[in-house]
Structures are given as C-alpha cells and as structure tokens.
C-alpha cells in the first residue's frame, strides 16, 4: 500500500479548518454533545472535526485511533492515530492555540506525522529517519542555555521544585502544539505528569519532537512507548537535552 500521507493529512486539516473556524470562540463550539472513550466531554467542535476525518480515512480501510470514537480495527497493517482538534477547550474559549494532529504507523513502526497549527497555518512534519520539518524547512530543538530554560509543565501537585530550577514555565493547553514548539526551538521541554495525556494527544508530536532531536521518555526516564488505545492515559517528559531530563527526574524522585 502506497499512500501520500502528507497530502492526505493536509487535505483533512484544511477541510477541518474550513468547517470549524467559523465557530471559533463561540458557545456552540463548546456545546457538550457526549462523552468520549476516556470519559472526557465531547464538544460540538470535536464531533464536527472527527466526522470530517472519519469521512477521509474510512475509504482507506486502515485502522483508526481517534479521541472521540476510540479504536476502529479494520485488520490493516496501517494505523492512524489522530486528534482532529487538540486544544478544543482553547478553541471554544477563543484562545488561538490548538492544532490538528495526525500520525501513521505500519504495524508498530512510525511512518509519518503531521501537526497543523490553525492560528499560524504552520505545518510541522516528522518523517522517521529523515528529520522534522516546519513548512517544508528542516527544524531542530535549540541548544540549551543553562538557567534560561523554558518548560511547559502540567502537574497535579508533584514536582513543584522544577519551577524553581528553570527560568520560565508555561501551560498553553495543547500538548500537540507544545511538542512542535519544542521541535522548533521555542521551548526546552514539555512535561505532563497528570497521568492524563492519551496517544491521540501526543503520537504525532512525539514523532516530530524526536526527529527534531528531542529526548522523549515516560516519568521514569524510560523511552516512551505509545499504546494504540484511545482510552490509555500516560505521562510524558520531552526535553532538548539530557541535563534537563536528569533535573526533572531528580525533582520527581526518580534519580
């Protein structure tokens, strides 16, 4: 099976953009229309975006892991892990930080990843073994400067000592976007230890960040492995160098 995954992904992203942007920041966008497989609220914008994606992918007869409907197993060797709107709370609230997130695997091996950031119209891609790209230009994590680290940090009470050991902490509300910011050198790390993120949130971002030179682990410092399960929740540490990883693990009591 030969697929032009970049064309498929961008086509879906642009159609999602066309249909959902007219309701950006409206009460209708955030209207509750159900619950997803992991127990979170499905917003109207989530449902609209996912219906578009399913319409594109269903004729390809591949497996699908998506945030709202969960797992669709068609017995294919290819699996798409997708979040049509990562950051839908931001979308409904009128905060322009959200993205379309798409990753493809052949069996368990990553093949291609794309994140489309709606507000900036930036296209981030990860091609395993070839690198990471922003708008077709190679991109890479930045060289760290000690004492100047900027970290995206989500927690529910653990690891507060990390805040005192980096210069800036940000919480942008869309992990897919934050992982692309790590990949392009706008952040030094992305850390979520709430046992909350799902493969749909991070699959594409992990591929892109790794191809840009990032280290991506679980909360124990072990290589993060993605489960093809829309309901599975995990923790993630993604950083631009070993020093910052060790600092985080120390504060979490893992070293």
In tens, the pLDDT along 129-172 reads 999 999 999 999 999 899 899 999 999 989 999 999 999 999 99
Q: Greater confidence, 252 or 41?
A: 252
- Both 40 and 59 in one domain: the answer is yes
* 203: its two tokens: 């699959």
Q: Print the domain residue range for 246.
A: 150-251
CATH number at residue 126: 3.30.540.10
Query: For the chain, how many structural domains are there in total?
Result: 2
Return the residue matching tokens 């642009």.
14
**pLDDT reported for residue 254:** 84
* Residue 10 reports pLDDT greater than 60: yes
CA dist., res. 229 & res. 66, Å (int): 9
CA dist., res. 92 & res. 98, Å (int): 10
Asked if 182 and 212 count as a contact pair (C-beta separation under 8 A), the reply is: yes
Q: What is the mean pLDDT of the chain?
A: 94
Asked if 20 and 91 count as a contact pair (C-beta separation under 8 A), the reply is: yes
pLDDT, tens only, 229-243: 888 899 999 999 999
**pLDDT reported for residue 1:** 46
* Residue 36 reports pLDDT greater than 80: no
Q: Which of 106, 139, 172 is the last residue of a domain?
A: 139
Beta bridge partners of 127: 131
Altogether, the residues listed in the chain come to a count of: 255
pTM score, whole prediction: 0.95
- Both 10 and 103 in one domain: the answer is yes
CATH number at residue 159: 3.40.190.80
- Both 117 and 34 in one domain: the answer is yes
């Amino acid at each position: 099976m030969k697929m032009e995954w970049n064309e498929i992904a961008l086509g879906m992203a642009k159609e999602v953009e066309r249909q959902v942007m007219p309701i950006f920041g409206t009460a209708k966008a955030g209207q509750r229309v159900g619950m997803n497989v992991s127990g979170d609220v499905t917003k109207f914008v989530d449902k609209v975006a996912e219906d578009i994606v399913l319409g594109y992918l269903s004729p390809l007869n591949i497996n699908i892991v998506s945030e709202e409907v969960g797992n669709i197993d068609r017995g294919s060797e290819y699996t798409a892990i997708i979040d049509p709107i990562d950051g839908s709370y931001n979308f409904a609230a009128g905060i322009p930080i959200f993205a379309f997130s798409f990753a493809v695997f052949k069996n368990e091996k990553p093949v291609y990843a794309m994140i489309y950031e709606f507000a900036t119209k930036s296209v981030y891609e990860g091609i395993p073994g070839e690198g990471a790209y922003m708008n077709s230009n190679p991109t890479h994590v930045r060289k760290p400067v000690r004492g100047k680290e900027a970290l995206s940090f989500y927690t529910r009470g653990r690891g507060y000592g990390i805040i005192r050991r980096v210069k800036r902490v940000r919480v942008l509300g869309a992990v897919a976007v934050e992982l692309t910011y790590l990949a392009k050198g706008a952040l030094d790390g992305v850390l979520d230890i709430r046992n909350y993120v799902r493969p749909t949130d991070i699959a594409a971002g992990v591929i892109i960040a790794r191809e840009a030179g990032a280290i991506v682990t679980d909360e124990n410092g072990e290589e993060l492995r993605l489960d093809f399960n829309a309901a599975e929740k995990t923790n993630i540490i993604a950083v631009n160098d070993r020093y910052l990883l060790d600092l985080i693990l120390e504060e979490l009591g893992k070293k």
